[in-house]
Chains A and B, each alone.
Chain A
Amino acid sequence: MNRIFLGFLSSLILLSPAAQAEERKKGGTVTGPVIANTLIENFNPFTQQAGANPSRGFIYEPMLFHNTLQNKVEYRLAESHKYSDDLKTVTFTLREGLKWSDGEPLTTADVVFSHEMAKKDAKIDVVSLWQGDKPKLTAVEAIDDRTVKFTLAAPDSSVHGVIAAHYIVPKHIWSKEENHAEFRNKKPVGSGPLTEIKNFKPQQVIVCRNPNYWEAGKPNVDCLKLKQFKGNDQVQVALIRGEIDWGSNFIPDVEKTFVAKDEENNHFWYPAGPTVGIFLNTKRKPMDNLAFRQAFSMALNRPEIVDLATYGYASENPHITGIGNFYAKWYDDEVNAKYDYLNKYSPEKAKALLDEAGYKDIDGDGKRENPDGSKAKIQIMVVNGWTDWMQTVQMVTEYLQEVGIDAQIRTMEIGQKIDKFKGADYDAGILWTDIGATPHTFYQNVLHTKGIGVSLQANHGIHSEEMDSLLDEFIQTADLDRQKEISAKLQAFFAENLMMIPVFSNPEWYQYSTKRFGGWPTAENPFVNPRFYDDGSRVLMINNLYQK
């Protein structure tokens, strides 16, 4: 089957703001925060300073990225991509007349060069396309100036997003450098909306418009100023003082501390991010018993946890299948109807279920014992200092105690927690999950046997060959209907076995001020997930901002 993903949907979304473009003023410098100890004069997109680095997205634009909120592909440097019928090759077509910021043409020669770099040097291969045990690609070849073909190591319908996440840099500049991983690229020549570094200081960097940007009239703003802050509290002060126009950080009691200072202009929007849950090690008692895990889930008052532990900023997951509203387009009504009861707070049902399964208080200490009479005690791991999660786990243990389960919080260092998760040396522990273009990322890391010992979420003891092959099939088909079918099966398997108890969806932190600039993504106009640290999303965001 041949699937062409056309870009017209994305242009529709872009058209609506564009229609008002005549009224939109040009110019201005929008200011945002970066959390870092100091900014470093390094605009190499292949180094690990994503948040502090304007090179990703602003200076170097991706060929495309997946707009998770709209569940569609946003074409940037590329205008389309196409898989071959056997899903063994994928071809990208670049837009016409693309130019680097220095005026040189941007062609597939640059694309090939950028990927050849990663092929030669593992340090450049930041998204693991060419190197490692299982490289995803075997060859790249320019068909003509605008068409480039990638040959895949195995059929895979999801690799286009990963390929596009490898940044394209100008061959005519980078081919002169010998050590690409250590190239500081202080005067970048880029392809994105903002490429000209105007003022670099360890405390702030100003990057201004690309004179040769492909999207006519964009960006509306002239420059972006990124200011350095140590932590969330300093960002909060800067927001309140109006020194920055947006924030992407946790702010306690944001209504009072930020919105109330200027209700007309100060806003926040916290859309759902990845699911956070309590992973259970089913190789240990009493977590080995499904009835126990179901009772665990029903014992939790999730709305109250969201309200108290996260100040109400996290989102409740409406279903028990592991995925939250981030993947709302993938929900399956049939599966949800069957398992939703497990997501509801019902301590009475939880108690009944435990009684029935033989978890009774034998020695009269008020805590239930295992059916065989041994103590049923569980420790829930959390990283020391991650206050909202500590509060969450604290509340979880209290709910569990209410139904007679002896649960305790166990705080530790992140490094230690990672080792314990990977080595299945734990009873239970709170953990984030991974997000990607489709729920596949989530289930792959939780369910696939390949992930045991590698993925933090995989070593819980419940796997099945059927799920492994479904997960493999998911990326080997380009048929969306089939993907939805598989996704429903994965959701059912997850809800049936509950190796993880989903608690809530972490919020994406995002505050903005409409005092000087407009065009922000909002709950009413959610054209993109407001992830300013993220590579593709930040391009759409910056292009849509305008000075008032």
Chain B
Amino acid sequence: MGRFLGSRLLFYIAAFMVAVTFNFVLPRMMPGDPFEIMFAAAQGKIQPEQMAVLKEQFGFVAGPWHVQYWDYIKGIFSGDLGPSLTYYPTPVTEIISGALPWTVFLAGTSTLICLFIGILLGIFSAYNRGGKFDSIVAPALAFIGAFPQMVSAMLILFGLGVILNWFPVGYGYNPDVDAGWTLEFFMSVAYHAALPLLTMIICGIGGWLFLMRNSMINTLGEDYITMGKAKGLSTRRVMINYAARNAALPVVTAVAMALSFVVAGALIIELIYNYPGLGNEMLGAVASRDYPLLQGLLLIIVVCVLTANFIADLAYFWLDPRLRK
């Protein structure tokens, strides 16, 4: 067991270093630099001479690459990611820590709900394959899920938000309400999360259903299922303990991937609903070539992806006894 975990850990450390290097290089390979973008965005409101001041203010991104890279690596391990360009002099860590909880809440909640409902429906659908549910509801959910998130999000926003005016169309909560452990605040958060959550659940549920269903169907053909049934065990016991547990392995991988993309995956939703999460910040950082902020955001994603995969490794270890030998 130790050797398995040790080699995995080494792999993750190597992967981490490669990924953070890419995080550094990729943004800088985009054409244009932050000053020019800022200059252009001002459309004549910044005079050419003032560019010099901008460069002075943001001198830390104008240095040679190897100096910037070294600062960046030092920053990662010391937790100081430097100031953002767009929000100078606000530190990147402050912007990220303000946005991260919203994304984790939004994407985490929606993933868990999708997962729970999707897997249950998948199990049910596979066990009664060919039945009414399996041939009508499941394809319908897959159909809805096949819509690009952007389209569903805009349709829902326009219908329930703009036309019917039932739900707010922006923000994580009503800014007139003070944040705190009050019922009013939680109600406001829930009210504002309603449309983004609805969109993400509608879009996501079909995928889980099919993943679980297909994995289940393979398992249901195994001899031990027939044996379980022959022993006269209850349907529920066969379905959950015999079939579902063994069908779960591929799903675990998918869950790990899904959780790791929780931080990055809500980008479009956050954008459309003006939700104060990381995706929202990421798009702004790309558009303005805010290298420090972009690096910080990508770092969070790298950490999440690797951590989730590591947890998936551990889960395999627990679910699949063959690995324990």
Contact = CB atoms under 8 A, between A and B. Distances in A.
Interface stretch (A61-69, A119-127, A152-160, A342-350): A119-127
Interface in B30-49: 31-33, 36-40, 43-45, 47-49
B280 A230 contact: yes
B98 to A, nearest CB: 6
A48 B44 contact: no
B243 to A, nearest CB: 46
A203 B171 contact: yes
B276 interface: yes
Nearest to A451: B48
Q: Which 9 A-B pairs have the closest CB atoms?
A: A415-B32, A37-B284, A182-B89, A434-B44, A204-B175, A128-B49, A201-B175, A122-B56, A414-B40
A127 B50 CA distance: 6
A455 B48 contact: yes
Contact of B47 (A37, A49, A128, A203): A128
A354 B146 CA distance: 56
Interface in B83-132: 83, 86-90, 95, 98-99
A102 to B, nearest CB: 24
B: contact size bracket = 35 or more
A418 interface: yes
B54 interface: yes
Contacts of B99: 38
A48 B280 contact: no
B44 A433 contact: yes
Given A128-B49, A415-B36, A274 B89 contact: no
A432 B46 CA distance: 12
Interface string A24-59: 000000000000011010101001111000000000
A143 interface: no
A369 to B, nearest CB: 34
Interface string A445-470: 10000010011100000000000000
B169 A237 contact: yes
B32 A413 contact: yes
Which has the most chain B C-beta neighbours within 10 Å: A44, A50, A132?
A: A132
A147 interface: no
A237 B281 CA distance: 21
A128 B50 contact: yes
Identify the interface centre among B83, B98, B276, B281: most chain A CB within 10 Å of its CB.
B276
Contacts of B281: 37-38
Interface in B52-82: 52-54, 56-57
Contacts of B214: none
A241 B39 CA distance: 33
B271 interface: yes
Contact of A414 (B36, B49, B87, B88): B36
B48 A445 contact: yes
Contacts of A274: 43-44
Contacts of A181: 57, 89
B170 interface: yes
A127 B44 CA distance: 13
Interface of B: 31-33, 36-40, 43-45, 47-50, 52-54, 56-57, 83, 86-90, 95, 98-99, 162, 165, 169-172, 175-176, 179, 271, 274, 276, 280-281, 283-284
B53 A128 contact: yes
A434 to B, nearest CB: 4
Interface in A316-370: none
Contact of B276 (A38, A126, A234): A38
Which residue, A50, A134, A434, has most C-beta atoms of chain B within 10 A?
A434
A434 B48 CA distance: 10
A131 interface: yes
A42 B89 contact: yes
Contacts of B32: 413-416, 418
A418 B162 CA distance: 39
Nearest to B102: A202
A227 interface: yes
Contacts of A128: 47, 49-50, 52-53
B249 to A, nearest CB: 40
B177 to A, nearest CB: 10
A229 interface: yes
Contact of B36 (A131, A230, A418, A434): A418
